[in-house]
Chain A
Amino acid sequence: MLKITNLKASIEGREILKGINLEVKEGEIHAIMGPNGSGKSTLAAILAGRDFADVTEGTVTYYGRDLLTMAPEERSREGIFLGFQYPIEIPGVSMVNFLKTAVNEHRKHKGLGPLSASDFLKMMREKKELVEIDSKLANRSVNEGFSGGEKKKNEIFQMAMLEPRLAILDETDSGLDIDALKIVANGVNRLRKPDNATIVITHYQRLLDYIIPDYVHVLYDGKIVRSAGKELALELEKKGYEWIKTGEENSVQTWKPGMS
């Protein structure tokens, strides 16, 4: 569904992505790992259409279409979902109103009429149960006053509501305690279907104990320097990013969570 070819991008003249190649097929879960500043979040932002980075070279196609020319809202309606690293607060706008607007825009895009209030509330109830989110979150303003964990859970809830074909989760695990991490991971696993795909961007291996990826890619200094199966994540955990950086298997410095 998604094909990234030789993608290069820079921010204010500084090259951040230096030729990314990646192909994601339906049913797959890809993990992208890498130290801070390697370009993970920039990649996620470019895929979602936030244009603070200039794409200087390369192509991204989504079901054969040129993704980079599509407006962010169109990408969303076509099934691309970004789970934000730092979800945004929108005071005064209730989650119900926000999601109703979003869901109905998605429906309109598919040629469907808007959901009735009762159908919508029913859908919300079902999805809340599916991702184990307490119902009071949905009655508050979008992310306003939510704790870090609540914000991340709320991202997964929105993902459940919008049923994306391609979900990109940008450091969704950061700042979560182990219980919240499990809830988030369970949500992602339950939403998995043969025809959708997920890109999990993470700094840590621990999320991958709960979301088992088909592929692990290591992004380092704007390039994918290594791709392999899920065992790569464990290897990284053991040996640290220094190992990738230097290419030496017996690097002295061990990488620990939180270091970069």
Chain B
Amino acid sequence: MQENNGDDIIKEVTSGEYKYGFYTDIETEKIPKGLNEDVIRLISSRKGEPEWLLEFRLKAYRHWITMKMPRWPNLKIPEIGYQDIIYFAAPRSHSSDKKGEIDPELKKTFDRLGIPLGEQKILSGVAVDAVMDSVSVKTTFKETLAELGIIFCSFSEAVRQYPDLVKKYMATVVPYTDNFFAALNSAVFSDGSFCYIPKGVKCPMELSTYFRINSANTGQFERTLIVADEESYVSYMEGCTAPMRDENQLHAAIVEIIAEKNAEVKYSTVQNWYPGDSEGKGGIFNFVTKRGICRGDNSKISWTQVETGSAITWKYPSCILKGDNSTGEFYSVAVTNHHQQADTGTKMIHIGKNTRSRIVSKGISAGMGQNSYRGLVKVLKNADNARNFSQCDSLLLGDKCGAHTFPYLEVDNPSAIVEHEATTSKIGEDQIFYCNQRGISTEDAVGLIVNGYAKEIINQLPMEFAVEAQKLLQISLEGSVG
């Protein structure tokens, strides 16, 4: 509506800019930019790693240099200068190992991000591992969780304290040979979270990791490993933000989940990396490999993602349904506004008998944004009675954006039932005007309509984050309707 002054409205509301774009001026230790075996040795020695881990990194690196950047995503990715990236940066005063002390500047930063790190202030039901650049600066509620036998700590600490567990599970779901960015991550990964839920334990609080990129010209390469032993349950949540910069920054992470017999893992993401400005300048390249395996019978892994940030998103949180009667779920809302691009979806690999998967993907495109759903449902020969239901909806705001759907089906067992539904709709001027006429502003109307559209996904999020995600959806679409 209001074609005549649409441009002004867009200009006016896009100035409601990215809230988390500030930079913390803190003394940071960085290694020189560039990537070679010496840099990998340097990272490994900085972290005081055992020899086997260095070997793993070097193998991954040697593999990576033989690989080429994948070109199959429906994305326009500029050349990335891998020798211009700094692969390790740590706030000098970080103190995740010293008891409870944390640099006041760091604490202030996370307070500003809405992630208080003092345990008395924190949301009582949520334990947080806070990661800035390449290191974990603080993990809360570690001791409380330890009483139940739950291990929740930074990945680096896990390598030192629980090497056997790390060795047993790391790279079993995402091998370093998996893909270009997985190989890169395996070579240079810095910090991330490690979480182990022992047999029969239902984790009583939400576990979460908050990733913050702070330094310029650095990449963030974290690694997260979640192991849910038999009969256990955990709900895990990650959030992320970065300063506003004109240069693109690379974030290439790996997340691995292992669910043993009768275990359930719920993994939720609210991704709010800096998306670049309204002209498409700057922003994070978010190239992430996330995969879980339902190893045991009756196990369940559920991915929920709300993707509003990043200049380019490339990720497919997937489930390997190996155990009989295991279940995989993928719930996603992905927003692309301005010049953002997303190629995201999932893979559901049915191996065990009576395995079930459910995919609900909601893409929202605005401005010049391009949003692709890419999903694979694969049913192997012995996966009797596998079931899949997929629903892919696209919502368009304006006429310069795009929505694309690339579903792949590979079914090798005749008893499988695979369903796919897809819709595309547009927010109409008449819907907006109807809201206006009832006293609701255009921005709020878009928020209302988009949140209605995404409700099914938002409802999957833990309560504390659902409200945040709703606000984020609305903010990320500001200026999209003129």
Would B436 and A73 count as touching, CB distance under 8 A? yes
Closest to A80 in B: B437
Per the bound structure, the CA–CA distance linking A75 and B451 in Å amounts to 25
Candidates B428, B434, B440, B442; contact of A87 at CB < 8 Å: B434
Would A92 and B453 count as touching, CB distance under 8 A? yes
Within 8 A of A (CB), among B446-462: 448-449, 451-453, 455
Closest to B454 in A: A92
Within 8 Å of chain B (Cβ to Cβ): is A141? yes
Closest to B448 in A: A93
Per the bound structure, the CA–CA distance linking A141 and B456 in Å amounts to 14
Within 8 Å of chain B (Cβ to Cβ): is A158? yes
Within 8 A of B (CB), among A70-100: 71-73, 75-77, 81-82, 84, 87-94, 97-99
Q: Considering only CB atoms and an 8 Å cut-off, how many residues of chain B contact the other chain?
A: 24
Would A90 and B449 count as touching, CB distance under 8 A? yes
Within 8 A of B (CB), among A125-151: 141-142
Closest to A158 in B: B438
Within 8 Å of chain B (Cβ to Cβ): is A50? yes
Per the bound structure, the CA–CA distance linking A20 and B339 in Å amounts to 46
Per the bound structure, the CA–CA distance linking A109 and B452 in Å amounts to 24
Would B2 and A76 count as touching, CB distance under 8 A? no
Per the bound structure, the CA–CA distance linking A102 and B453 in Å amounts to 19
Would A88 and B430 count as touching, CB distance under 8 A? yes
Within 8 Å of chain A (Cβ to Cβ): is B433? yes
Would A77 and B431 count as touching, CB distance under 8 A? no
Within the complex, what minimum Cβ distance (angstroms) separates A68 from chain B?
Answer: 14
Per the bound structure, the CA–CA distance linking A97 and B450 in Å amounts to 13
Would B440 and A88 count as touching, CB distance under 8 A? no
Chain A proximity mask over B403-439: 1 for CB below 8 Å, otherwise 0: 0000000000000000000000100101101111111
Per the bound structure, the CA–CA distance linking A26 and B440 in Å amounts to 25
Closest to A79 in B: B439
Within 8 Å of chain B (Cβ to Cβ): is A49? yes
Would A88 and B434 count as touching, CB distance under 8 A? yes
Would B439 and A77 count as touching, CB distance under 8 A? yes
Chain B residues, Cβ within 8 Å of A152: none
Within 8 Å of chain A (Cβ to Cβ): is B1? yes
Chain A proximity mask over B1-16: 1 for CB below 8 Å, otherwise 0: 1101000000000000
Would A101 and B452 count as touching, CB distance under 8 A? no
Closest to A99 in B: B438
Per the bound structure, the CA–CA distance linking A101 and B431 in Å amounts to 15
Within 8 Å of chain B (Cβ to Cβ): is A105? yes
Within 8 A of A (CB), among B63-121: none
Would A98 and B453 count as touching, CB distance under 8 A? no
Within 8 Å of chain B (Cβ to Cβ): is A106? yes
Per the bound structure, the CA–CA distance linking A102 and B71 in Å amounts to 47
Per the bound structure, the CA–CA distance linking A87 and B433 in Å amounts to 11
Within 8 Å of chain B (Cβ to Cβ): is A162? yes
Within 8 Å of chain A (Cβ to Cβ): is B444? yes
Would B452 and A91 count as touching, CB distance under 8 A? yes
Would A49 and B434 count as touching, CB distance under 8 A? no
Closest to B5 in A: A51
Within 8 Å of chain A (Cβ to Cβ): is B441? yes
Within the complex, what minimum Cβ distance (angstroms) separates B359 from chain A?
Answer: 19
Candidates A92, A94, A162; contact of B438 at CB < 8 Å: A162
Chain B residues, Cβ within 8 Å of A72: 433, 436-437
Within the complex, what minimum Cβ distance (angstroms) separates B446 from chain A?
Answer: 11
Closest to B425 in A: A91
Would A91 and B430 count as touching, CB distance under 8 A? no
Chain B residues, Cβ within 8 Å of A76: 436-439
Per the bound structure, the CA–CA distance linking A42 and B453 in Å amounts to 31
Known contacts A51-B1, A90-B431; A106/B449 CB under 8 A: no
**Top-9 shortest CB links A-B:** A92-B452, A93-B452, A72-B436, A76-B439, A102-B438, A88-B434, A105-B439, A73-B436, A77-B439
The interface of chain B, by Cβ under 8 A from chain A, is: 1-2, 4, 425, 428, 430-431, 433-442, 444, 448-449, 451-453, 455
Q: Given A142-B434, A158-B438, output 9 extra A-B contacts at Cβ < 8 Å.
A: A73-B442, A88-B428, A89-B431, A90-B431, A90-B435, A102-B435, A105-B444, A109-B439, A141-B452
